[in-house]
Structure 1
Amino acid sequence: MSHARPDPRGVALCLASAAGFGAMAIFAKEAYSGGAGIATLLAVRFVLAAAVLWALVLPRRSRLSRERRTPSLLPGLALGCLYAVEASAFFFALSRIDAALAELLLYGYPALVVVGAALLGRERLSRGRAAALALSTAGIVLVLAAGEIGNVDGLGVVAAITSSFLYAGYVLVSDRVVSDRDPLLVCAQVVTGAALCFLAYGLSTGSIHLALSAEAWVAIVSISLLSTVVPILAFLKGMQLVGVGTATITSTAEPVFTVALAMVVLGERLAPVQLLGGALVLAALALLARPRGSRRTDAASRRELGSPRVSGAHEPAPHAARPAPAREDRERTAVG
């Protein structure tokens, strides 16, 4: 079902998710400078986040047990493993190609999600949504194109493209998993699945080292809370309210938040082309938020889709990841 106008609460939640993931690069730089490696950062990030989420979920067990059906752990844990595989593919790409190129290839996922949702019959690809997708994609290219592309390695390019498809799959599957479940519970399950994967890898390879500086620990805790718990939960709840397509396009604001925070916190300067790219992303969000016709038009649209109006119904909905380190951050930096 397609919303005549996205729920402002859902859009705000997806923007909050993008801001949280976008801040990850800033925190990750502090963690790396304090001695944290990628394996340590990923494992500790998700273990801490899982602990926080389950501390929030467990007091609500009685209410959750009264749901129509008992939520299974398996779908959420499987989603977490998918998220971990996507992150690993993106990190592998970053080890072979420059971050800007990896980011550009990864951010093909919004188009994959929107088109995939249309092909699966979940949402209609309207002209307005297609225009917003085109604007946001062009904006991302301009924001990230200021970075160095460097040498193009075939295997790295394949890994980045694979990461894009995996993250799109994660989002589309999340859309179904979270549609009739508590987003907090699903978020806890997803993060736990990712934590188990990264913990197993780190322990089996001996690549987890906890002798870090105080600054590194502060940064990792910040990533766990502000760039994992908050954005993943906000994304899942936001998609429940606005649908997978609108949520995914809104998430393209993530690279804009990253470069803006880099300017404010790290003193980095933005090129004019990056400012133009940010403006295009904002224009895409404004296009998504505008009303799309009268009630009569909306009713005609529903008849065309053959879906009767149900009071209180909304699109099924899944940032996982989201990834998505920008995304250089959702997954590259600590991923996300």
Structure 2
Amino acid sequence: MLYMLLVLLAGCSFGLLSPVVKLAYNSGLQPDQVVFTQFFMAWAMLTTIMLVTSRKRMGYKKAGKLALAGVSNGMAGLFFFLSLQTLPASIAIVIMFQFTWMGVLLEAIVDKKWPGKEKFSSVLVLVLGIVMAGGILEGEVKLDLIGVLLATLSAFAYSFYILFSGRVATNEPPINRSVWIITGAVLFSAFIYPPKFIIEGQITTSLIWFGLGIGLLGGVIPTFLLAKGVPQVGPGMATILCSSELPVALLGSALLLGERASILQLLGVLLILFGIAIPYVASNIKKHSGQLTEH
């Protein structure tokens, strides 16, 4: 239960990231500044924590694998930000959230085991809830092919990130794993968006404060929680629990940006919450039934 809660909270942290990033854009910050600063601030904070709390060293092979997992995380963020340039946010997030079924499918392929009825039912409910909560059923929808492709790549990369984070160097301390994961994300973002703004002296107070907030919400908190929780609950369950991101994103947008959600979107949120709860409820029912059978 504890590890499921940690993964759920990681999704909530990612959910708060979206409205904060919108606030950063509204303040005049550019995508290259936001993407690089997010991962760099997270790397700086996690590395400081590791140096203070952990003395265990990790082998280069494990560190390299974790850094590759971080690259998939960086790719997911980059593709999603780029998709927002040509797609409405509601459409982009609905497409990106297809990582729910992608993650379950990836786990099934890797483990060569078809997901149980509870996971399958959960994914179906989640996909319906995500479509409703994203507002895709309301109004006329215009889709840009490049935007759709980028959002789909974001979902694919994120499902790989969750898979890797639950299977690579799982015996290492979560803080050490988190540092190397975020290191991969920093290197990838620096390669795609070289931090020219630092060399040009465009470091503002706004960039520092937003960088700290975005680094915490999009890097430190979810990376650490996923590093600790995913190895215990499994990648398939983790993708289901991370669906908490969308309801929190809608709530954060309402509180921070003044955006209103429709009745259909609210019903979608309820479906998402129900979909997340299905595996846990099913697990408890099986456990309770087993106890009754023993007695």
Match of 2:210 in 1: 219
Q: Does residue 96 of structure 1 match 2:72?
A: no
Does 41-50 or 258-267 show the bigger shift? 258-267
Residues 142-197 of structure 1, C-alpha deviation per residue, up to 9 Å, x if partnerless?
11025777432222222222222222222222221143322221111111111122
Match of 1:76 in 2: 66
Match of 1:249 in 2: 240
| Residue 134 of structure 2, aligned match among 128, 133, 144 | 144
| Residue 179 of structure 1, aligned match among 170, 174, 178 | 170
Q: Does residue 25 of structure 1 match 2:18?
A: yes
| Residue 40 of structure 1, aligned match among 6, 28, 33 | 33
Q: Aligned in 2, Cα 1:87/1:268: closer, same or farther, shift over 3 Å?
A: closer
| TM-score calculated relative to the size of structure 2 | 0.87
Write the letter of the residue equivalent to 1:19.
C
Q: Aligned in 2, Cα 1:102/1:267: closer, same or farther, shift over 3 Å?
A: closer
Q: Aligned in 2, Cα 1:55/1:144: closer, same or farther, shift over 3 Å?
A: same
Residues 48-99 of structure 1, C-alpha deviation per residue, up to 9 Å, x if partnerless?
110111111123453x24x8x7763211222222222333322332223222
Following superposition, the deviation at residue 35 of structure 1 comes to: 2.3
| TM-score calculated relative to the size of structure 1 | 0.77
Alpha-carbon contact 2:43-2:182 (below 8 Å) kept? yes
Match of 1:235 in 2: 226
Write the letter of the residue equivalent to 1:44.
T
Q: Aligned in 2, Cα 1:156/1:263: closer, same or farther, shift over 3 Å?
A: closer
Match of 2:96 in 1: 106
Q: Which has the higher helix share?
A: 2
Aligned residues: 288
Structure 1 residue runs of 5 or longer lacking an equivalent are 1-7, 299-336
Following superposition, the deviation at residue 272 of structure 1 comes to: 0.3
Write the letter of the residue equivalent to 2:223.
I
Write the letter of the residue equivalent to 2:256.
V
Write the letter of the residue equivalent to 2:232.
L
Hey, which bits of structure 1, 4+ residues long, moved more than 6 A?
none
Q: Does residue 119 of structure 1 match 2:112?
A: no
SS of the aligned residue for 1:273 comes to: helix
| Residue 7 of structure 2, aligned match among 9, 14, 21 | 14
Counterpart mapping for 1:257-268 below 5 A: 257-268=248-259
Alpha-carbon contact 1:35-1:213 (below 8 Å) kept? no
Q: Percent sequence identity over matched residues?
A: 23
Aligned partners of 1:31 and 1:149: how far apart in 2? 29
Counterpart mapping for 1:252-331 below 5 A: 252-290=243-281, 291-294=284-287
Write the letter of the residue equivalent to 2:24.
A
Aligned partners of 1:109 and 1:278: how far apart in 2? 17
Aligned partners of 1:149 and 1:169: how far apart in 2? 32
